[in-house]
Structure 1
Amino acid sequence: MAHTELAAVAGRGLVAEEPLVTGSADDLLWDTTADVVVVGFGGAGAAAALEACERGASVLIVERFEGGGSTANSGGVYYAGGGTRFQQDAGVADSPEEMFRYLEQECKGAVSEATLRRFCEESVANIEWLAGHGLGFEGSLYSGKTNYPPEDKYLYYAGNEKVPAFAARAAPAARGHRTKGAGWTGYAYFDGLRQATERLGIPVRTHSRVQRLVLDSTGAVIGVELIEIVDPADRRKHQALYAKVDPMRPFNTARAEKAIAEALAFELLVGRRQRIRARSGVILSTGGFGYNVGMVRAHMPCLADRNNALMRLGSMGCSGGGIQLGVSAGGAVGKMDHAFLSRMIAPPDALVQGIIVNRRGERFVNEDAYNALLGGAIMDQPDGDAWIIIDRDLHRKLLRQCIPTGDGTFKPYLAPALLNLFLGGTRKGRTLAELAGRIGVPADRLEASVAQLNAAIAAGQGDPMGKNPDYVRPLGRGPYRALNTSVGNPYSFCIFFTLGGLAVDELRGVVLRPDGSPIDGLYAAGRAAMGLPSNGYISGLSLADGVFSGRRAGRDAAMGRGNARSAADAGSDGAR
C-alpha cells in the first residue's frame, strides 16, 4: 500500500504507521502470542472476543484506554426484532420478514439483501446471546414518539416505524431494546460485556494503542505492534485526558481537542513498543473517526468546518486508527462521507407540530422523522441552515411542555430545547412576512409553505410531507417564532458520528482490498467497518451491528489462518 493512499484516507489526522513487513512470523521476536488479537474493547470488540473464545481460540484484547468507547457512551439501545421474548412480553407482534421489510427502507442497500435477511433472522438469537451473558432487557413498552424512552420503559419505537411512508411497507413494531439501568444505559450494556469477558478469562491489554500492523511477505497480517503505557501514574494521567472528552458535555470542543493532542503526544513520550503475534487473525474494532477533525475534513469538510457546533457521540478512541491500520495493509474503504447527524426536536412534541423550512422558505422534510433522517435532511440544505416555524399557541405549548416533571426528560431534551429557544438565535415576527425578513428567507415562499399546509389540512388531505396525523395541525395566528435548527448553531446540539469504514466480506468479516480480494488474517467489525448503518441510522442499529459483525469476525478468525470458507459454508450457528 503506497503511503499516499493512507494519507488520502487519514488527511491531516494520520495516527497509524505503515506496516512492519517481515519474511515470516519466525523472523521476529514477539512479546506475547494469541490466536486472535482484538484491537478495541467496545461493543463490537467484546462480541468478537467472546465469540472467538467460545469457539476455542486463545484471545487477547488490546485497548487504548480502559474500555467501553462509544458503546459505553451510548444510550444502550439494541435494535432487535423478529419476535424477541421481550417483544412478546409487551404484546408486540413481529417477524423476521416484517423486520426485513422495514430495515430495507432504512439501510438503503448498505449491505446485500442476503446479509440483511441474515441479520433479521439471527436477531432473536443474538439478543438471547447477550442476555445469556448477563445483559438486562425488559418488555416494558413505551408507544409514544420519543428519541429515548422514559426511565421505567425499556422497549420502544426506535426509528421511523410509525411514519406513514414506512408503515405502508412494513407493519410497525417496537424494536428498540434499551438495556436496563438508570439514564443513558450504554454503560450498563458494556459492563455486561466486560463482565462476560472477565468470566471467560480473556486478557485485556489496556492503555495500549496499536501503532502498526505486522505483515509477512505474502501480505497476510500476522500481528500488531503497539505502544503500551506501563507506569500506573502515567496510566492515571492518560485516563484523565480521556475523561476530558465528554461527548454529552456542551461547548467542550476546545477542551476536547487539546486533550486529544496531549494524549497522542503522551503515548509517544512514555509508551514502550510491544509486538503481539496473532496466529489466526487480527480484528479491528476501534470505532469510527468522529474525534479526528483532520480525518473528518478529508471526507466531510462541511462538518469539520462546524466542528465546534457538534456533539460528537463516541469517545477519544474514535480516532480512525483502526480504519487507517486496515488501509495501511491494503484495505479498501467506503461510505467515508456518510455520517449520523441527529437533530432532536422531540420531546417536547410541540416543535413536531411546527414546520421546518430552509433558507428558501420551503419545507423539505416531515418534522416527525427520526432524528437522524431529520439531521441528514438539514445537512443537505444550503449551508446546513434550517428553522422551525411555530405560531403563538405552539410557543405557549412548548413552554408548558418544558416544565420539569421528574420523568428524566428535562436534562437531555427539555433543557436543550429551552437553551436553543432563548440563546440559539430565535427570531420573532408578528406576521410571516416580518418573520421571513428576520431570518432572511423569501417572504412569499414562507407564506406559500404555510398556505399549502393549511389548505391540505382544511381539505382533509393530511400533511403534504407525510407527517404522522397525530402531529399534523395548521399554523394559526402570530406572533410567529423561528427556532434556529441549523447545523452550525451550537445551541441546536446536533449529535454526530461517522458511519463509513473498511470494506469487509459480508459472510466472514475479513477486510477486502479494492479489487475485492481478502487480506488474510485481517478483520473489521463495528464502526471501523462498513455495515448495516452505513447508509442511514436508527437508534440501536450500531450496537446490533456490532454484535452481528463482531461475532461474525470472531467466528471466522477462530477457524484458523488461511480459512477460505465462509461462515455460512462452515455452518454458522449465529442463529442457534
Structure 2
Amino acid sequence: MSGTDLPEVLDAASLTEHEDCDVVVVGFGIAGGCAALEAARSGARVVLLERSAVHGGTSAMSGGAFYLGGGTPVQEATGHPDSVEAMVDYLTAVSREPDAAKIRAYCEESVEHFTWLEALGFSFERSFHDKKAVIQPGTEGLMYTGNEKVHPFVDQAAPAPRGHKVPVAGDTEGTRLVMDLLRDRLADEGVDVRYETGANALVTSGSNGEGAGDVVGVRWRRFTETGLIRTRSVVLAAGGFVMNKDMVAKFTPNLAEKPFVLGTTYDDGLGIRLGESVGAATAFMEEAFITAPFYPPSRLVTGIVVNKEGRRFVAEDSYHSRTSAFVMDQPDHAAYLIVDSAHIEHPAFPLAPFIDGWETVEEMETALGLPVGSLTATLAAYNENAARGEDPDFHKQPEWLEPQDTGPWGAFDLTLGTALYAGFTMGGLVTDVDGRVLREGGAPITGLYAAGACASNIAQDAKGYASGTQLGEGSYFGRRAGRHAAQPVPS
C-alpha cells in the first residue's frame, strides 16, 4: 500500500476461518529476526511474515556496526575503558527528547547484548581502528562512530568508542552474516518463517472499525492468496518509510528528490501505518538521517567547512551525519570544505566532489561566489587560532586543528544535489521500553509491539546519531519486544 492512507482494521468477528499462534512478527530485518528468536526461546509459537523473497530487509544493507558499550570485551581488550554511566550520559546528551528508561536499559544491558549477539555464531574482532572513517575499512572490531569526542558532548560524558563492527571486510557483508545466523537460529527454534507474505491489516477486539480495541490478529497476503491469523501479540518490525514518496513529501521533504535513499522497496511505512490504524502515536516523523561524508582520508578533517556566506557553522571533527545535518540548515543547503595544499588528500570514492584549486584565497572566494572578503576573514581567523591550538568559535578538538595557510587551496562541494547524499527516515511508532506500542497519552495498545525502523527509540536526531545505533537498538529492543510479546496476556 502506498500513499499516506491507513490500512483498514478488521473486527475480531471476521476471524471465522483462521490459524492460531502466540506471536506474529511482521518483517525479517534485524529487529524482527531478534524479536522472533527471543519470542520462540520464551516458549511462544511464532510466525514471521516477510514481504520480500529473502531475509535481511534494510538491515542487510548497513555497514555491520552495532553501537554497544559499558565495558564490552572489545573495549577492554583494546584499552578503551567505558562505563554504563558514561554511556547513559552520552546518549542522554545527544538525544533531543531522551527517554531515560530506554537509555538506561540499553546501556545497562549492552554488555549482555554483546554476548547474545556473539552467541549467534560470530565474534567481534578485539581490535581498534584509530582513524576517522565512515565504517571500519577492514575487520577491526571497534571505532569511534559518533560525536563522543566532539564539543559539547566531550565535556558532558567521558568519551569511549562504541561502534562494534562484525568482523567481515566490506560495507554490507557483516550484517548479511548476522542475518544469515539469525535465519539459522530461527530454524533451530522452529519459527514459521513465511517469505513473500505481508501483513496488510490488523484485527482488533471491539474496534467497530475504529481501531479502539486490543490487537488479536493480522490479515496476510501472499500474491493473490489471503488469510487470517489469530494471535496473542503482533510485533511490527517492517522498516521505515523512505520509499514512500507521499510520506517523505509530508514529513521529510529533504529526502524527496536529491539524496540516494537507504532502503528496500518495502520501506514504505506500512508498519507505521498499521500501528496508526489502531490508534498508535508517532514521534520524530520529521527527522531524517542525511549524510555525505567528506572523510576518509582523516586529514581532510583539518580543513574548514563554510556556507555560501563564507562562514563556518560546525566543528569539522563532528561525525559525518552531524556535519551533514548542519549543512541542511544552511542557505540553499550549500557548503564547501576548504583545504590547503599541505593537508589536501583526495578520497578514493569521493561523495563530495572536488571543485578546483586556486593560487589565492581571494581567487577561490570569487570562483565559489562567496561575498567579497568573507572567506579571507574566516580562514585568517581560523588559522590564527589553530596555530595556538584553539578554536573558540566551534571548539574543534586540538588533534584536528592545523592552520590552512599553504597555497594553493582546494575546495570540495558539500551542497545537497551536488554531493552524493544518502539518507533514511528516523521517526516511527511510540513505544515503551518493552516495545509496547502506545496511544496518544501513553496508554499501551494491548497485543501490539514495534521495534526497529518503524519504532521511535533512541535514534531521534541526525545531529546526535552514531553509526551502529539502528542495528544496536533494533536488535536490542527487538529482543525485548519479542520476550514481552511472548508472555501470556493477563486475564
Choose 58-67 or 432-441, whichever is displaced more: 432-441
* Residue 512 of structure 1 pairs with residue 433 of structure 2: no
* Residue 549 of structure 1 pairs with residue 486 of structure 2: no
- The 2-side partners of 1:126 and 1:301 are apart by 35
Pairing of 1:225-374 with structure 2 (within 5 A): 225-229=219-223, 271-278=224-231, 280-304=232-256, 307=257, 309-374=258-323
Letter in 2 for 1:449: T
What residue is the counterpart of 1:494 in the other structure? 421
User: 1:164: Cα distance to partner?
Assistant: 5.0
What residue is the counterpart of 2:57 in the other structure? 69
Letter in 2 for 1:273: T
**CA distance 1:555–1:338, shift in 2 (3 Å):** same
User: 1:539: Cα distance to partner?
Assistant: 0.9
User: 1:204: Cα distance to partner?
Assistant: 0.6
User: 1:16: Cα distance to partner?
Assistant: 5.5
Letter in 2 for 1:221: V
Pairing of 1:75-474 with structure 2 (within 5 A): 75-111=63-99, 113-184=100-171, 185-218=174-207, 219-229=213-223, 271-278=224-231, 280-304=232-256, 307=257, 309-395=258-344, 398-399=345-346, 402=347, 414-417=348-351, 420-421=353-354, 426-462=355-391, 464-474=393-403
**CA distance 1:38–1:329, shift in 2 (3 Å):** same
Secondary structure (helix, strand or coil) at the match of 2:373 reads helix
Structure with more helix by fraction? 1
Letter in 2 for 1:289: F
User: 1:480: Cα distance to partner?
Assistant: 2.7
User: 1:544: Cα distance to partner?
Assistant: 1.1
What residue is the counterpart of 1:560 in the other structure? 488
Q: Is the 8 A contact 1:110 1:531 kept in 2?
A: no
Q: Is the 8 A contact 2:336 2:414 kept in 1?
A: yes
- The 1-side partners of 2:86 and 2:279 are apart by 38
Secondary structure (helix, strand or coil) at the match of 1:183 reads coil
Q: Is the 8 A contact 1:342 1:494 kept in 2?
A: yes
Could you give the per-residue CA deviations for residues 468-527 of structure 1, whole angstroms, max 9, x where no partner exists?
2222111214333321111221xx222211110001123x31111113222111111011
Letter in 1 for 2:313: F
* Residue 537 of structure 1 pairs with residue 465 of structure 2: yes
Q: Is the 8 A contact 2:120 2:178 kept in 1?
A: no
Structure with more strand by fraction? 2
Q: Is the 8 A contact 1:427 1:439 kept in 2?
A: no
Secondary structure (helix, strand or coil) at the match of 2:34 reads helix
- The 2-side partners of 1:432 and 1:330 are apart by 58
What residue is the counterpart of 2:16 in the other structure? 28
User: 1:143: Cα distance to partner?
Assistant: 2.1
What residue is the counterpart of 1:42 in the other structure? 29
What residue is the counterpart of 2:210 in the other structure? none
Q: Is the 8 A contact 2:131 2:298 kept in 1?
A: no
- The 1-side partners of 2:159 and 2:279 are apart by 42
Could you give the per-residue CA deviations for residues 17-43 of structure 1, whole angstroms, max 9, x where no partner exists?
2212244x7x5211x221000000010
User: 1:428: Cα distance to partner?
Assistant: 4.2
- The 1-side partners of 2:122 and 2:21 are apart by 27
User: 1:171: Cα distance to partner?
Assistant: 2.3
User: 1:211: Cα distance to partner?
Assistant: 1.4
User: 1:562: Cα distance to partner?
Assistant: 4.8
Q: Is the 8 A contact 2:203 2:217 kept in 1?
A: yes
Structure 2 counterpart of 1:483, from 412, 436, 439: 412
User: 1:549: Cα distance to partner?
Assistant: 1.4
Secondary structure (helix, strand or coil) at the match of 1:205 reads strand
What residue is the counterpart of 2:448 in the other structure? 522
Q: Is the 8 A contact 1:456 1:464 kept in 2?
A: no
Structure 2 counterpart of 1:503, from 420, 430, 436: 430
- The 2-side partners of 1:351 and 1:463 are apart by 20
Secondary structure (helix, strand or coil) at the match of 2:66 reads strand
User: 1:298: Cα distance to partner?
Assistant: 0.7
Choose 12-21 or 479-488, whichever is displaced more: 12-21
User: 1:297: Cα distance to partner?
Assistant: 0.5
- The 2-side partners of 1:554 and 1:53 are apart by 8
Letter in 1 for 2:81: A
- The 2-side partners of 1:44 and 1:385 are apart by 36
- The 1-side partners of 2:139 and 2:55 are apart by 27
- The 1-side partners of 2:4 and 2:152 are apart by 42
Q: Is the 8 A contact 1:135 1:193 kept in 2?
A: no
- The 2-side partners of 1:303 and 1:383 are apart by 14
- The 1-side partners of 2:409 and 2:130 are apart by 31
User: 1:73: Cα distance to partner?
Assistant: 0.8
User: 1:420: Cα distance to partner?
Assistant: 1.7
User: 1:464: Cα distance to partner?
Assistant: 3.1
Secondary structure (helix, strand or coil) at the match of 1:212 reads strand
User: 1:149: Cα distance to partner?
Assistant: 1.3
User: 1:15: Cα distance to partner?
Assistant: 7.1
TM-score by length of 1: 0.80
- The 2-side partners of 1:349 and 1:127 are apart by 29
- The 2-side partners of 1:481 and 1:93 are apart by 39
User: Where do 5+ consecutive residues of structure 2 fail to align?
Assistant: 208-212
- The 1-side partners of 2:350 and 2:411 are apart by 16
User: 1:89: Cα distance to partner?
Assistant: 2.0
**Percent identity between the two aligned chains:** 39
- The 2-side partners of 1:89 and 1:477 are apart by 41
Q: Is the 8 A contact 2:21 2:47 kept in 1?
A: yes
TM-score by length of 2: 0.93
Could you give the per-residue CA deviations for residues 53-103 of structure 1, whole angstroms, max 9, x where no partner exists?
111111110001121011111111111111112222222211111111222
- The 1-side partners of 2:450 and 2:327 are apart by 31
**CA distance 1:562–1:28, shift in 2 (3 Å):** farther
**CA distance 1:168–1:208, shift in 2 (3 Å):** same
Letter in 2 for 1:275: L
User: Where do 5+ consecutive residues of structure 1 fail to align?
Assistant: 1-9, 230-270, 403-413, 564-576
Letter in 2 for 1:382: P
What residue is the counterpart of 1:18 in the other structure? 8
Aligned residues: 481
Letter in 2 for 1:504: T
**Aligned CA-pair RMSD:** 2.0
Letter in 2 for 1:192: L
- The 2-side partners of 1:16 and 1:191 are apart by 33
Secondary structure (helix, strand or coil) at the match of 1:103 reads helix
Secondary structure (helix, strand or coil) at the match of 1:78 reads strand
- The 2-side partners of 1:497 and 1:122 are apart by 27
